[in-house]
Amino acid sequence: MNFASGRICLPTAVQDWAVVCKLQGGGVGKGCVKKPERSGAMLAYDELKGASGRKMSYRPVRYDARRLFPTLPPRVKVRANAYQLHNISLGGLAAIARHTNEDMLEVGEIVPLSVQQSGQPIFESNARVCRTESTVFGSNVAFSFVDRFVEFDKLITHNTQAQMATQAALLGPGAQLVPQEYRAFCSDILRVFRGYRAILDANCTIASAIDAGFDHQSAFEGCEERFMQQWRAFWRLGNDFARDFEKDRDVKEASKEFTELVLTPEFRLSALWDRSYAKPLGYPGDFEIMNQFYNWQRVGGTAYEMLLHRAGLEMAECIKARMEMARYHIGDVVRSRGVDRPARVLNVGCGSAREIQTLLDASRNGYPLAEFTLVDQEERALRYAHDHIYPHVLASAERIRIQGLNLSFMDILREGGRISELPSQDMIYSLGLFDYLTDKRAAGLVRRLYDKLRPGGLMIIGNMNETSFSTLWPLEHVLDWTLIYRDEPQMLAWAEGLPASKAWTETEPTGRVRLLFVRKQTA
């Protein structure tokens, strides 16, 4: 109460309620039927709501392995097979095999399962195989536990203990398989990288202490050339080790695990390396990562983060180079064919389709007649491509058309379906899909796509090249990103027996990607 004025001062919420009641013709007292809303979280029982629709059936929470175990996701061992943990819940898990399993699992069978961190079991149970799915990235398998359930507090504790035991001596069960020379190699990388980091951090701290600014851009420029020289030397030597590891699967797996434990956390200070390792969309090389490779921008909050990002761009320079090579050939096809009729171009595994976007960016003064069909398993990639290409569709006065097909890569590989329904194409290309396919599947898909070419049409297939300076070690060992590297004879073999065809290969400027060209001869 305001004693000076003799008026009662109501709290703001009550004053507002009073105004509402007055507007409704009532008073604050008896005539007002509207009650003020509660300002807190307290609800009456009749106000509580449950779920609706499909959400009414409760399912235990599934935790993504990369989030639950951010440092090093555990492996799942089933018989002789090693899988990567994808997600885990109270009563089951999903796992991915990065290779073709020798011991195939049957839906419904019960198998012993062990979740292992650095070679040490942190959870074990018999498990029923609920679902198996073959993808170009490996085999996806879902298990339900039969005689145990996950107690997450214990799981995390056991995971911590296993990591601590391994960190203490950098020797988990099986880690003795890692060659001593490779251990020294990883140690050298850390010593050099952290040397740069320590100098940059120390000078940044000094600048902050005297209220002076620290120019991270200039610091980066001062370090870049020498840092990149050292990075290239490490990268080449890493490839030598990685090729040697390919001879022994157990040594390879142990060395990969060692690398992920020792080196990967340092690289993950850069957003590019972090996303490449974390694979947030559930598969490697998603369109957002490709966009970072294409953009070739200086990224990072500190000079050290910029250096790590620059190392990643150098490693993946071939990705941008193959895109630019594809853009050149697409431009040649649409300019020569898209005169009196639309040139038809099919992109299988399109990602962000940056080559089409940048081609059209340069065609604003005169669009050719062209119809682009984009195929990808990721709806978000198609959305991105569509959003960036569609402005050209509108500006072209119907000279440019685009359609997207959201198909899984296994749908693409199957006979029939939407691919078979498409009209004949003047150009068909795929830049990244074949890196994940076995030779048998690759040859089958080449033949299928070739059948969709018009006479005189061109097919271009990209694959990582088998070369001394390939991306093998950085991708396979640092990022757990498995690709199949091939040489010219292996890729030419895909085109053997194709009727009325001419086949050859070329490499993009870095030599790390080889492109197979197949021309269908005119009748």
Q: Are 369 and 292 in the same domain?
A: no
Q: Are 449 and 483 in the same domain?
A: yes
Q: How far apart are the first and last CA of the chain?
A: 99
Domain-ending residue, one of 169, 197, 213: 169
In tens, the pLDDT along 140-181 reads 899 999 999 999 999 999 988 887 776 655 555 566 899 999
Please check whether residue 269 lies inside any domain of the structure.
yes
Q: Are 399 and 516 in the same domain?
A: yes
In tens, the pLDDT along 337-390 reads 988 899 999 999 999 999 999 999 998 778 989 999 999 989 999 999 999 999
- Kindly give the pairing relationship between strand 75-78 and strand 81-88: antiparallel
Split into its structural domains, the chain has a count of 4
Tell me the average pLDDT across 34-52.
56
Please check whether residue 58 lies inside any domain of the structure.
no
Q: Are 296 and 329 in the same domain?
A: no
Say what the pTM is: 0.79
Domain of residue 155, CATH code: 2.40.10.220
Q: Are 195 and 90 in the same domain?
A: no
The Cα–Cα gap between 453 and 281 comes to: 32
| Segment among 112-116, 156-160, 167-171, 425-429 with least mean pLDDT | 167-171
Give me the pLDDT at residue 251, please: 93
Give me the pLDDT at residue 405, please: 95
- Say if CB 279 and CB 66 are below 8 A apart: yes
Total residue count of the chain as it appears in this document: 523
Please check whether residue 112 lies inside any domain of the structure.
yes
What percent of the chain is predicted at pLDDT more than 90? 64
Domain-ending residue, one of 315, 343, 373: 315
Q: Are 292 and 333 in the same domain?
A: no
Q: Are 274 and 406 in the same domain?
A: no
Q: Are 295 and 338 in the same domain?
A: no
Give me the pLDDT at residue 11, please: 42
Three-state SS at 390 = helix
Q: Are 188 and 159 in the same domain?
A: no
Whether residue 4 has pLDDT greater than 80: no
Range of the domain at 4: 1-40
Please check whether residue 53 lies inside any domain of the structure.
no
HEC per residue, 298-349:
CCCCCHHHHHHHHHHHHHCHHHHHHHHHHHHHHHHHHHHHCCCCCEEEEEEC
Give me the pLDDT at residue 26, please: 44
- Say if CB 507 and CB 515 are below 8 A apart: yes
Domain-ending residue, one of 274, 299, 315: 315
- Say if CB 142 and CB 131 are below 8 A apart: yes
Q: How confident is the model at residue 417 (pLDDT cuts 50, 70, 90)?
A: confident
